[in-house]
Amino acid sequence: MAVPVISAFYGGLLGVLAIVLAVLVINQRRRTHVGIGDGGDQRLALAGRAFGNFAEYAPLALALFALLELCGGPRLVVHLCAGGFVVGRIAHAIGITGNAGPSTGRAIGVVLTFVPMLVAAIWLVIITAPAVFR
Amino acid sequence: MAPYVTAIYAALLGLLAVTLSTIVMANRRRAGVTLGEGDDPRLRRAIRVFGNFTEYVPTALILIGLLEASGGPRLWLHVLGVALLAGRIAHAIGLSRNSGASAGRNVGVLLTNLTLIGASVALLIVALPKL
């Protein structure tokens, strides 16, 4: 089977981002001495949600991008989906770390999370349906 | 051979993920809660429907994808994919309606865990002899 190198590249970037977001949570835990939960501390809660939101979307999104690449999706589409998603996750992390309310970063993050996942999912249905139901 | 069977179930589950997440955002707007769960029961349920989905589906899909990449039988792949998809839909419907035990939630938990067990055991059967 071919190696999905484009998804692997963006997967690497997302892996680095996951570690960065986790370290930010750990820093807040050390500052506040809260071992579990957020202890009512706003900055710890925000760091926790920045990481939590990332963890909710990144694995499934990355699986979709890798499958799209493996199933012969156009290189440009894989780049746009995976690259857009990485930008979206960075924007979301910056937005939600700044304040708890709606923010430009968070809004960009939500759009650049949903659109790449939707495009990859719908593209996958279109290119795989003939192979599955033949 | 590309993992087409996994791809189609991943795609359908991806659409379900976006739907469940959109329901969370709609409830956030309605309840005016931008961070955390607040006290709104419908928002809390929507968050847990999406949260439970994200806790199980990536692992299950990776197992099914590895089974397909390892040359697992097509029929198993379809059975696992359909069970996972049906389980997640049942769980979402059950938990959206009320916070307690419900038929949909029970069916969802059962099908999700059977998928994980089935895919794991199948992977061991297919992959161990190739080590």
Q: What interface predicted TM-score (ipTM) does this complex get?
A: 0.85
Is B1's Cβ below 8 Å from some Cβ in A? Answer: yes
Q: What residues in B contact A59, CB-CB < 8 Å? A: 54, 58, 62
Compare CB distances from B7 to A96, A122, A128 and report the shortest one's residue. Answer: A128
Condensed to tens digits (0 to 9), the pLDDT of residues B68-94 reads: 999 999 999 999 999 999 999 999 999
Rounded-to-integer distance, Cα B65 and Cα B5, Å: 8
pLDDT over 70 at B102, yes or no: yes
Contact A67 B17 (CB under 8 A): no
Q: How far apart, in whole angstroms, are the C-alpha atoms of residue B81 and residue B57?
A: 11
| Inter-chain CB proximity A1 and B4 less than 8 Å | no
Does position B98 have pLDDT exceeding 70, yes or no?
yes
pLDDT of A97 reads: 83
DSSP state of B118: H
- Which of A53, A60, A71 best probes binding to B when mutated, by most B CB atoms within 10 angstroms? A60
Return per-residue pLDDT of chain A as tens, 134 residues: 578 999 999 999 999 999 999 999 999 999 999 888 888 899 999 999 999 999 999 999 999 999 999 999 999 999 999 999 999 999 999 998 877 777 889 899 999 999 999 999 999 999 988 877 76
Looking at per-residue confidence, does B2 or A2 come out higher?
Answer: B2
Closest-CA distance, B21 to chain A, in angstroms, reads: 9
Closest chain A residue by Cα to residue B64? A63
Query: What pLDDT is stored for residue B124 in this prediction?
Result: 92
Check pLDDT > 90 for residue B12. Answer: yes
Please enumerate in sequence order all residues whose Cβ is within 8 A of that of B17, keeping only pairs 6 or more positions apart, or say none. A57, A60, A117, B50, B53, B54, B57
Express each pLDDT in B113-131 by its tens digit. 999 999 999 999 998 888 7
Give chain A's length. Answer: 134
* Per-residue exposure over A9-34, b if at least 16 CB sit within 10 Å of its own CB, e if not: ebbeebeebbeebeebbeebbeeeeb
pLDDT tens-place string over residues B43-73: 999 999 999 999 999 999 999 999 999 999 9
- Using left for φ > 0, alpha for ψ between -120 and 50, and beta otherwise, residue A101 falls in beta
DSSP label at residue B87? H
Q: What is the pTM of this model?
A: 0.89
Which chain B residues contact residue A64 at CB under 8 A?
10-11, 14
C-alpha–C-alpha distance, residues B80 and B64, integer Å: 7
Cβ contacts (< 8 Å) between B21 and chain A: which residues?
57, 114
Backbone torsions φ then ψ of A18, nearest 5 degrees: -60, -45
